Structures are given as structure tokens and as C-alpha cells.
Amino acid sequence: MNMRIRPRRLRYGETLRKMVRETRVDPSSLIYPMFVKEGTGIVEEIPTMPGQYRYSIDTMERKLEELLDAGVSSVMFFGIPDHKDEVGSGAYAEDGIVQRAVRLARREFPEMYLITDVCMCEYTSHGHCGVLCGHDVDNDATLKLLAKSALSHVQAGADMVAPSDMMDGRVAAIRDILDENGYKNTPIMSYAVKYASAFYGPFRDAAGSAPAFGDRKSYQMDYHNSREGIKEALLDVQEGADIIMVKPAMSYLDMVAKIKEAVQVPVASYSVSGEYAMIKAGAKLGYIDEEKIICETAASAFRAGCDIYLTYFAKEIAQYMQEGKIG
Ligand code: PBG
């Protein structure tokens, strides 16, 4: 056969394959999401996310040490309060669960980069991501509470805030309040391209944040839409978002690739609880090879264009990176 161009030529041997590799990864792009709750001595496994736990503030320290040892130096906190009410007051309480977790982590782990999720759903008695007006989430009234929450996180020592509520105008509201209070250099990572997704199911079990009625489709996006995601991303960049996130990751990598073209800021993708749960369940049944699937899904997110990857497998991926199994 006379064939000059043979793509297989570059596939012989690990050395050559690594030389021509297009996607190179590094643990510095990983963020580990973790759940903190009230109480002491708690390390509670989340039934739908085997291997993931809810920690009280005292036990959280051990986990943070473990992450640092593994090479993961960024975490994102989700709070699980004891008390929920109509207006989610725990979200912006000075001694709220996230605020206290951040204060402690800031003091004990100065080298760790601390990000907080800014949302109301873990703190409202109805489980929606904002305050209600009848059965609707009141967008503009919610903005004030989100801004207050973000400010309280930063005052407690958070390095970055990440609003996940999907209200219109929240990035601007948060940017304004941070600037007015002298936090001009605190970045905002916006969950800008966030779809109404069944992949969040296990998270809602973990955080007890499932909506008591209805669904989130009046604020999170319809998964049939792609141009709408670009609209959200561009709007948030205009409002001052420093990083744009696409969520979920696995079924939305087309959006990662499109957003990467559309904006000039770093792009993050969040491999959510349902993605984690599927891999764990498939592996437990012996249907798939857990380690290989973790490496492949992570590499595909980076290949699609993400600069930052939020994942419950952060520790494992950091380890696989160091062992040369990925990247
Ligand atoms: C809060 C929030 C959710 C997730 C991150 N922030 C749940 C939701 O929107 O219902 C999901 C994360 C995951 O599934 O791992 N709004």
C-alpha cells in the first residue's frame, strides 16, 4: 500500500504518545467540593455518593490535610445548616456553617485556596434557590441575600465566591457589594451555564436541598439549549465574572468547547454528584473499570477546553496525574 500519511505512526510507544499529547493536565486545576455540617465528630457517608462524606468543622481539618498531601489545594464549601427558614437566613449568618468552616480553614490552612458556593437552596425551608413570592422565586429580592451571603463568606476569609443560584444579575450584585466593602480583588466564579439537571440528584440528598414543590426550571437552563448558554456566559462576563463554569460536565462538553470560544476568561466545568454516583455504581457492579473511567472523563473535560475541573474525584485524579496515568 502506498500511504504517505499514516496516523498510527504517532501511536507506537508510550514515550511518543506522550510527546504528541494534546491535553496536559496538572493537579492545580482541580477543585474538591466538600460538605460541612453543624455538630462535632461527624464523618457521615452520603448514601448516594459512596466515598463522599459530610464533615463537621472539626473533622473537616483531617480531610483538608489529606487533600493537601495528595496535591489538591483548592476546595469549594457547601454548608448544611441545622436550621432552615423561608428566607435562608443561615446563608448569610455571621456564624453560619460555611462562615465558620471558612474561618477555621483560613486559620489552620493558610496555603489552601478556599472557594464558597453561594446559593440559598441548602438554607431555605422550601429548598428553592431564592426567596419566594407565591410559588415563584423572586429574582430581585434574592439578589440582596446572595450578595450578603457572598460578602459574609469573603469576610470570613474565602478567597473566591461561586454563585450557583442562576438568578439574573447576581454577578453584578455580588461584584458591587464586594467592591463597596474593599474586596476588589476577590474573584467570582460564576455557575453561568447551569442546566436544570437530574444529575444533581445525589447532591440534593447530601445537602437536603431538594425543592419541596415544583422544580428549578424557572431559573436553571433547559438542557435542549446551547445558544442560551452562550448568552448567560457573555452576560456574566459583562457583569464582572472572572471565571465561567459549565455544569454538569459529562453531558455538556459541547458547551465547554463553545464557551471556551465565546469568552476570554478561564472556563471551569463541574463534574456533578450524579456523574460521580454513576461511576461508583457501575464500578461496584463490576461493569466498568473505576480508575480508567475517572481518568478518561477528567481528560475529556480538559480536552473539551476546561481550565478548571471541579470533581469529587479530585484526590484520586491528583494521584493518577502524579502516577502518570492521566495527562
Ligand atoms: C446549589 C448547587 C447544586 C449543586 C451545586 N450547587 C444543586 C442544585 O442546583 O440543585 C449541584 C452539585 C452536584 O450535583 O454535585 N444550587
Res. 191: pLDDT tops 90: yes
Polymer length in residues for the chain: 327
- Per-residue model confidence as pLDDT tens digits over 205-263: 999 999 999 999 999 999 999 999 999 999 999 999 999 999 999 999 999 999 999 99
Mean pLDDT of the chain: 97
Is the distance from CB of 79 to CB of 97 less than 8 angstroms? yes
User: The cell 443560584 sits on which residue?
Assistant: 165
* Total Cβ atoms within 10 A of residue 45: 11
Cβ(253) to ligand 1 under 6 A? no
> Cell numbers at residue 275, please?
456523574
Q: Which residues contact 97 (CB under 8 A, 6 or more apart)?
A: 36, 37, 38, 57, 79, 80, 81, 90
Beta-strand ranges (E) seen in 57-143 are 74-80, 113-118, 132-133, 136-137
Q: Is 117 in the pocket of ligand 1 (CB under 6 A)?
A: yes
From the CA of 176, how far away is ligand 1's center (Å)? Answer: 24
pLDDT digits (tens, 9 = 90+) for 250-298: 999 999 999 999 999 999 999 999 999 999 999 999 999 999 999 999 9
The rounded distance, in Å, linking the Cα atoms of 249 and 51 is 20
Residue identified by cell 422550601 is 126
| Cβ of 269 less than 6 Å from ligand 1 | no
280 belongs to the catalytic site: no
Cα separation, 49 vs 64, in Å, equals 19
pLDDT value, residue 57 = 97
C-alpha of residue 193 to centroid of ligand 1, in Å: 13
Q: How far is the CA of 200 from the centre of ligand 1 (A)?
A: 6
100 phi/psi in degrees, rounded to 5? -70, -40
Q: Is the pLDDT of residue 327 over 90?
A: no
48 ligand 1 Cβ < 6 A:
no
Q: How far is CA 209 from CA 188, 201, 213, in A?
A: 23, 10, 11
3-state secondary structure of 132: strand
User: Which of 189, 197, 200 has most ligand 1 atoms within 8 Å of CB, for mutation?
Assistant: 200
- From the candidates 148, 194, 280, 315, give the one annotated as an active-site residue: 194
How far apart are the CA of 100 and the centre of ligand 1, in A?
21
Give Cα separations from 172 to 179, 190, 236 (angstroms). Answer: 10, 11, 8
Give the C-alpha separation, 54 to 42, whole Å. 7
pLDDT at 21: 96
Band of residue 116 on the pLDDT scale cut at 50, 70, 90: very high
Q: Is 247 a catalytic residue?
A: yes
With a 6 Å cutoff on the Cβ, whether 129 touches ligand 1 is: yes
Hey, what's the cell of 12? 507506537
Q: Is the CB of 271 under 6 A from ligand 1?
A: no
Centre of ligand 1 from the C-alpha of residue 122, in Å: 9
Looking at the CA of residue 199, tell me the nearest atom of ligand 1. Answer: 14
Is 0.85 surpassed by the pTM of this model? yes
Centroid of ligand 1 to alpha carbon of 48 (angstroms): 14
Helix (H, G, I), strand (E, B) or coil at 310: strand
Q: Cβ(216)–Cβ(129) under 8 Å?
A: yes
Cα distances (angstroms) measured from residue 13 to each of 16, 185, 324: 6, 46, 14
Per-residue pLDDT band at 68 (split at 50, 70, 90): very high
Q: Which candidate in 37, 84, 247, 280 is catalytic?
A: 247
**280 forms bridges with which residues in the sheet?**
none
